[in-house]
Amino acid sequence: MTESRFFERRHQAWERLEGLVRRAGSRGLRRLSTDDAIELGRLYRWATSDLAFAQGHRFDRRLVAYLNRLTARAHAQVYRGSVASGRERITEFFTSTFPNEFRRSFLFIGFCILLTALTAMIAFAAVSANPERALAMLPAGAVPAHIEKSLHDSNFNFKPDQAASVSAEIITNNIRVAVIAFAGGMTLGIYTLWILLMNGLMLGGVGALFTSAGFGYDFWATIAPHGVIELTAIQVAGAAGLLLAAAILFPGRMRRADALRINGRRAGVLITGVAAMLCVAGTIEAFFSPLRFSPAVRVAVGSITAVCVLLYFGFAGRKHEITADRAV
């Protein structure tokens, strides 16, 4: 049986199983009727057979990974039999599902990080050499009006408190960038790459303006507390967009619609996590902006945030990841 034929014949049963598992997840098997609970068990057994078949025939790894996760979730419902609340589902998402998907998609995320970092460094170097280049390099409106005025002033200078207003503009921009980076995946990833490039130019260019004026430490310190989370969220959103683009451009042996359905679920996990990350970053910014913490304190908070992000995405949910790999 070919892979496309296999998917065509079996995907409705998998989707039905996924729906039953999702329904059972809020309150456990008690929420299901007797017939639905029996059906869940039957579909679970079929799915394990499908997984073994897909592995034995070396079908597309995305399909195998999807079946692996589905059977692991169904296994937990069939053999746990406990009541899971909505709170537990949310906890499971952020302690297992999201960080596991982050690691699984790190090839895409790493590419986005590299692209943004290289663009930011190039912009930083170019604007540091000649601040007026910022007006030519950055998109219209990226340079705040009061900064643009300063660029044409013979006494080119900034006040330290301008860093806060620019920081707020960058936060708004980052939210917009995250949304566009994700949606841009449907343009074959072209708009996703473009928005990441523009974001790198803005970050490096504006940062260079303050650094050239002697206020670089104040500027980067202002961004540090919330910037680590925000910038990470943007890269994850970009990766979600590239997952959609990859399904369209490189469906492998699956039909594009099938590849898009599988990668779409993965992208949905990532973008849901991104929304939460931006909320956390916004909360941190709302707390720090009104208070006059010293730059050293802000840098320290940013460093702690960076360590927390690394630990979370590096280690959270690894036990569940191993369990899923060994399921069946």
Domain assignment of residue 89, yes or no: no
* 21 and 130 belong to one structural domain: no
Residue positions counted in the chain: 328
Asked whether 217 and 159 are in contact (CB, 8 A), the reply is: no
* 80 and 118 belong to one structural domain: no
* 114 and 174 belong to one structural domain: yes
Asked whether 288 and 226 are in contact (CB, 8 A), the reply is: yes
Residue-wise DSSP of 73-122: HHHHHHHH-----HHHHHHHIIIIIHHHHHHHTHHHHHHHHHHHHHHHHH
* 301 and 185 belong to one structural domain: yes
* 44 and 190 belong to one structural domain: no
* 78 and 211 belong to one structural domain: no
Q: Which of 52, 84, 116 is the last residue of a domain?
A: 84
Token reading at 276: 């939460």
Q: Profile the chain (328 residues) by mean pLDDT over runs of 10 residues.
A: 83 88 71 79 87 84 87 79 61 88 94 95 89 66 52 46 57 79 94 92 85 80 86 96 94 83 90 91 74 82 93 83 45
Token reading at 171: 């936060």
- Record the pTM: 0.71
Domain assignment of residue 94, yes or no: no
Q: Which of 84, 117, 144 is the last residue of a domain?
A: 84
Asked whether 283 and 87 are in contact (CB, 8 A), the reply is: no
* 176 and 254 belong to one structural domain: yes
Please give the angle made by the CA atoms of 184, 111 and 235, to the nearest 5 degrees.
55
* 193 and 225 belong to one structural domain: yes
* 54 and 197 belong to one structural domain: no
Q: What range defines the domain where residue 13 resides?
A: 3-84
Instruction: Tell whether the torsion through CA atoms of 174, 177, 183 and 189 is positive or negative.
Output: negative
Q: Residue 328 gets which letter from DSSP?
A: -
The burial of 12, by beta-carbon neighbours within 10 Å (0-12 exposed, 13-18 middle, 19 or more buried), is given as exposed
Longest alpha-carbon distance in the chain: 79
Asked whether 210 and 219 are in contact (CB, 8 A), the reply is: yes
pLDDT score of 151: 46
Q: How many domains does the chain have?
A: 2
Domain assignment of residue 326, yes or no: no
Domain assignment of residue 298, yes or no: yes
pLDDT score of 328: 39
Token reading at 217: 């430490």
* 168 and 309 belong to one structural domain: yes
Residue-wise DSSP of 228-296: HHHHHHHHHHHHHHHHHHHHHH--TTS-HHHHHHHHHHHHHHHHHHHHHHHHHHHHHHHHHSSS---HH
Domain assignment of residue 90, yes or no: no
Q: Which of 50, 84, 118 is the last residue of a domain?
A: 84
The C-alpha atoms of residue 192 and residue 184 are separated, in whole angstroms, by 5
* 115 and 178 belong to one structural domain: yes
Domain assignment of residue 328, yes or no: no
Domain assignment of residue 91, yes or no: no
* 132 and 9 belong to one structural domain: no
